[in-house]
Structure 1
Amino acid sequence: MRKATTATSVVLLTGLLLSACGEGSGGTSSPTSGAATGTASADAGKPVKLTFSIWGNDTHKKMYEDMIAEYKKTKPNVDVEIMTIPAADYQQKISVMLASKTAPDIMWMLERSIPQFLSSGQVEDISSIKDGSDYDFADFIPSTLELVTQDGKLYGVPFSTPPNMIYYNKKLFEEKGLKTPSELYQEGNWTYDEMVKAAKAISDPSKGIYGMDLILPSSSWTESWMESLITVMWAYGADYFSPDGKKFALNTPQGQQAVQFFSDTMFKDGIHPKPGDQTGFESGKIGMQQNLLSYIGKAKAITDFDWDIAPMPKGPGGSQGTTMGYAAYMITKDSPHKAEALDFLKFMSSKENMTITSQFFVPGRKSVLESDEFLKQGPSPESVKTAILDQMASAKVRPGFANYQLINDKMKEDFDMIYTQSDTIPNILKKMESDLNPILASQ
């Protein structure tokens, strides 16, 4: 099975654009030692071992290991151990480790989890990072800091702010004589209806070929309700929750239409892999795959066919429903090495090192987003601009809640009914409403 803040609209100033996290491989950039380091209270001689948790893959880990090797040239007394936790288990394991005071010193944290750890007081105030001209804190786009700011204090630094987009197999489109998503987008005709038409033409279940896959490879099927499928809900004019997060809002005609559409692609039309299907885009058997920039490294390793990226299609609700992922570096409150952890966090989030991580993650620094290096990360600068940068102004951050774990557990349980076809969509949505409203109201 593949893995799977209050809701905030990210409003960007003209020319200041952004892109999160997922999975990928590849990338050729080298780390630099030009980052802002030198926290005054860090002991330059005492041996220190930091732990740094991520949910990324081996390529992400190797990228950070190279950064750590460069960091040790100026801080030889500091060792940094990378702790890799599967994305599907990440929040729960970090919660347990925080409770048992065995948590890492520094951690990746996803937008859906940030409110929980802020409200529980389990992350460190790092407002002092704003001081010092060498770090250039003003380079961060202000809107990317809202989620990690509380009562005027800063609790994290965003390193990944990606929109969802479509990767497509140009070979499969050419074989069927179809216009590509990019061509349809330029014409103003890139819609979910056109996506389905193309998917039906491309699909050949007897050969294991599917025209479309909306589930992010980094998301489990049961957890896909938020990470992957909220794009569909928003595009259809529906939403999971009310604006204040107190009520379940999907049990509407628009919500039924959106969920029914998704179910039909799998069980009626046969144009989408069924739950548990492991067919990946790199196999050449998926026409269109929803994913993030972080997949681009793995896509670059594809040699059997040409591919490109395009924005999400427009839905019946009038929007593309583009979601903004979000991940930040945060320091745990109980870290025994807070000064050293902050120093290393500053190193990772410097302009130079965010240029390196931008091969996978859309950064929150203006200077990196506007750089030629970032535009060259994709199949072409034009594709990156169209599929990523041009979409950021209308993209919205996925919602998160202080009791997200309870909400997620119940949503996964009820979404299984869709995947097993245990009941009709209207009845499943009624059950969701009954199950979720008491949890939401208790926040």
Structure 2
Amino acid sequence: MVNTEVQHVVDVNADAPIEVTGEVPKHYPMGFAEFVVVIAAIMALNPLAMDMMLPALPNIASSFHIDAANRLQMVLSSFMIGFGVGQFLIGPLSDSFGRRPVLLGGMVLYAIASVLAIAAPSFEMLLLARALEGLGTSATRVIATSIVRDCYAGRRMASVVSLAMMVFIAVPVVAPSFGQAVMLMVHWRGIFAVLMAYGIVALLWSLFRLPETLPASERKAFAIPQVLDAYRQTLTNRQTLGYALAAGGVQGALFGFVFCSQQVFTGIYQLGPYFPLAFAAIAVGVAVAGFLNARLVGRIGMRVMSHSALVGFVVVAAIMYVAAKLQILPLPLFMALAALMMFSFGLMIANFTALAMEPQGHIAGTASSLYGSITTLLGIGIGAVIGQDYNGTLVPFATGFLLCTLATLAVVAITEKGRLFRPHHHPIA
């Protein structure tokens, strides 16, 4: 493998265009297109394992004799808890031992957990398998972000993340329908066989094509004091912490929607087996947002894009809350508002991630790890509260959605010291 590294010329303006020079990119022998696709493919392990299970929840309840509908949400939340907790160590490990061994190890764990889920004799064992699956995908998500940060910075990084997200976010659009199709042919456990097969394909692709992007000269010894110091640097950086909390807030709204979506569409709107189609129609908004962001962020800037989307997020949440309270939320209106919610989320999340990671190039793995843990666990905590409050109406979700958006807007305003919608002339320290 050629070891020539990309040299980043980073402007002091974190939101300025980034020029990248050098003979060979760090992701050689991959070209740019293959690099984006493989990053999206390994990132997609997480949403695929999450969303393919949605149509299977009633079947799982029947198999394990689960009477409480809200308890079934644990099939989703246990996966995300494993995902959130696992990220604490993934980053420091990859900063010490390189990206490849930790990434490949996570994929192996994911495949083993899928086998355990296929054979799970009880609901509790299934939840354990789901937590282990989440733990395995924590490596794929954290290291994918770290690899992108190894190779790119600034708006170029945001563009790469957006292109990957466009593929990555397309997964929730098709995953529930794919899960429904699998169950038409086999038992719900067949979904885990599909997940295992996909994980093995991604593992082999990464094994043979994805190079190590963290040179030995840039690795850090794995020592608790150094890890804690890297955590301190991450948590004391205003921009990183602020956008991590903001991303956690918007993910809380999204998780709340996902956790109770099956109950909403089949219980309130009586869609039955057509639920995956409705979910897919709504999720298209995120994919469209990813495409637009990738095309526009280089010209408009991360802050303008994400702050405008956040204001739109607040407006959508307010409309949904009023409509839910007045009990005038028919399916077409709910679908439109939910699609706008997803569209706004898609514009925010890639830019929030890029803004949070921008000051952390020297500790990208650890920073990405802590960022992922903060956003995921915060989102899971908020989403679980919203999901468990489901009472057969949309009022609990609409209320939680509005509170999340208002809190996120406040966090971003504080982070930017009130200067929204415009690039900063210097990094935030």
Give 1 or 2: higher strand fraction. 1
TM over 0.5: no
TM-score, normalised to structure 1's length? 0.23
Q: TM-score, normalising length from structure 2?
A: 0.23
If asked which structure has higher relative contact order (CA below 8 Å, sep 6+), I would say 1
